[in-house]
Chain A
Amino acid sequence: MKSNISALMDDELQDPEHAAPLRALHDDETALQAWREYHIVGDALRGTRVLSADFSARVAARLAEEPTVLAPRRVAKAVDRNRRWMTLSATASLAAVGMVGWLAFAPQRGAVPDSVPLAQTPQAVQTRPAEARPVPLPSGANDYLLAHQTYSPRSGLQGVAPYVRTVSERGRPR
């Protein structure tokens, strides 16, 4: 296992091979110790500046203090195909980021509550201002559209013609 830990550090493992050493880091104290030692050795070889001994613990504690930004959302029972696809990809990206977060704080496992990495890191994923997440038209879109068109200057050019811009009441655009 120690050679696997080393390979994991050096990014020498192919995808399915990650699982076993990662599990070991979680479960096995000796594997975790090996991880710590390899990092210290690596830092020493590279001349990396050494952080204070309890650095990771202090960072983890500070993170635990921060309020969770994400409020839990009620998940609809009936999920249509599009929404399921987006949920899967969002979950996959969250899992990937969560994994990285977990590894960064692995040496101080005792101080890190299990839920912290996954709860905190999605903040980085979700607040990208540049990209707008595409979603289906909101429920009751017709009502918003009709209320909006009352005040649109397009009626000065086209009369009531722009009111054709509606949605089928089942929520799908015509």
Chain B
Amino acid sequence: MKAAAFLLVLFAGVAQSHGQQPVDGARWLEKIYNATQKLSYSGTFVYRRGEHSETSRITRLVDASGDVEKLEALDGVPREVVRKGDEVRCYLPESMTVKVDRRTDRRSFPAMLPAQISSIGEHYTITKGETARIAGFECQAIVLTPKDALRYGYKLWADTRTGMLLKARIFDDKGNAVEEFTFTQLRVGGNIDRRRLEPTLRARGKEWHIENSAVFPVKLAESGWIVKPALPGFQKVIEVRRMLRESQQVGQVVYSDGLAAVSVFIESIKGRREPVQTGLSSMGGINIYTREVSNHVVTVVGEVPATSVQRVINSVEYRRPQ
């Protein structure tokens, strides 16, 4: 009994000292996440992928009555995304549609606990980079270099004072940027009128057509679907059934390694108006693979390189339930 107690104290001591000396880069990561949860801000940022670039305005207000965020596209076709607590509404005036989604599982919301950061550290090397001045803020760069070729790398520039993320670059195994977000103007804190966070796109005399995602948890294995992505470090985050368009029911399984997520969508081929194009398409740091499996369309959307998305879609199988 005495030996066991001694070992317990020893382990506890080791665990505590480990927690007291976190990796410097990991501490910065935690600072960025805390800032995203707690800060109110408004600013303008540029999103770049390849030749394409576009400017957007983003506003966030955190106060006693909850947190609200709004994204407005300033280039091209107007679009707006408004998040109030767990509900996200996307206003798409081209089709006069509002797509409504809700985060059903609190645990799936990526709140950053120290345990999650340490699991990121298993698959990415976290280091401090240079300091830089961005949009008038003195920033510290943090680099997350993947330990394998299955994921992208991240370089994050955070304001040294508040931890606010000013710039993020996602890069591939050759060091080329696949995606970049940069604030060109930012104000942290200050008086933000809650009315500014209401959607501004006018309905132009017509009614917005509302599409609800109607998400509920499900076990796709019960319908015969087997998904074994074989991506080290990626854990299943959530498994739901939802509406994708007005009438298309789809199963969705999401995997994540703490930084990147991969969604597997499975839907019956009957709802499809157009034939399935099997193959890979890319959009900056997002790769999408589409394939037909047993009269269903499987679509994998991943914030990971094409080879990883391919690996996931090849692991999707259907076995008719007995």
Contact = CB atoms under 8 A, between A and B. Distances in A.
Interface stretch (A35-43, A60-68, A140-148): A140-148
Interface in A126-169: 129, 132-148, 150-169
A154 to B, nearest CB: 7
Interface stretch (A71-79, A96-104, A112-120): A71-79
Contact of A156 (B36, B45, B273): B36
B70 interface: yes
Interface residues on B, range: 35 or more
A168 B168 contact: no
Tell me what chain B mostly uses at the interface: helix, strand, loop, or mixed.
Answer: strand
Interface stretch (B74-82, B130-138, B199-207): B74-82
Contacts of A141: 281, 283, 288
Which 8 pairs between the two chains have the least Cβ-Cβ distance?
Answer: A135-B279, A133-B279, A156-B110, A132-B280, A153-B110, A148-B263, A135-B277, A163-B81
B4 to A, nearest CB: 39
6 contacts: A139-B273, A142-B92, A144-B301, A160-B69, A163-B71, A174-B76
Given A152-B303, A157-B32, A158-B181, A76 B314 contact: no
Given A167-B283, A169-B92, A156 B111 contact: yes
Interface residues on A, range: 35 or more
Nearest to A155: B110
Contact of A151 (B92, B256, B289): B256
B185 interface: no
B254 A151 contact: yes
Contact of B47 (A140, A143, A164): A164
Contact of A173 (B52, B112, B248, B310): B52
A147 B88 CA distance: 10
Nearest to B303: A152
Interface in B227-279: 237-238, 242, 244-245, 248, 250, 252, 254, 256, 258-261, 263, 265, 273-275, 277-279
Contact of A158 (B70, B165, B289, B299): B165
Of A135, A160, A169, chain B has the most CB atoms within 10 Å of the CB of A160
Contacts of A166: 79
Given A155-B36, A165-B49, 17 more contacts: A73-B275, A132-B279, A134-B282, A142-B92, A144-B244, A144-B288, A144-B301, A145-B286, A150-B88, A153-B256, A154-B259, A155-B109, A157-B165, A160-B58, A163-B71, A164-B47, A164-B54
B177 interface: no
B286 A165 contact: yes
B71 A158 contact: no
Tell me what chain A mostly uses at the interface: helix, strand, loop, or mixed.
Answer: loop
Of A142, A148, A166, chain B has the most CB atoms within 10 Å of the CB of A148
B244 A147 contact: yes
Contacts of A137: 281, 283, 288
Contacts of A144: 244, 263, 265, 288, 299, 301
A151 B301 contact: no
A147 B92 contact: no
A132 to B, nearest CB: 4
A61 to B, nearest CB: 30
A160 B95 CA distance: 21
Nearest to A162: B181
B191 to A, nearest CB: 19
A70 B238 CA distance: 34
B278 A133 contact: yes
Nearest to B37: A156
B290 A143 contact: no
B168 A160 contact: no
A160 B303 contact: no
Nearest to B284: A165
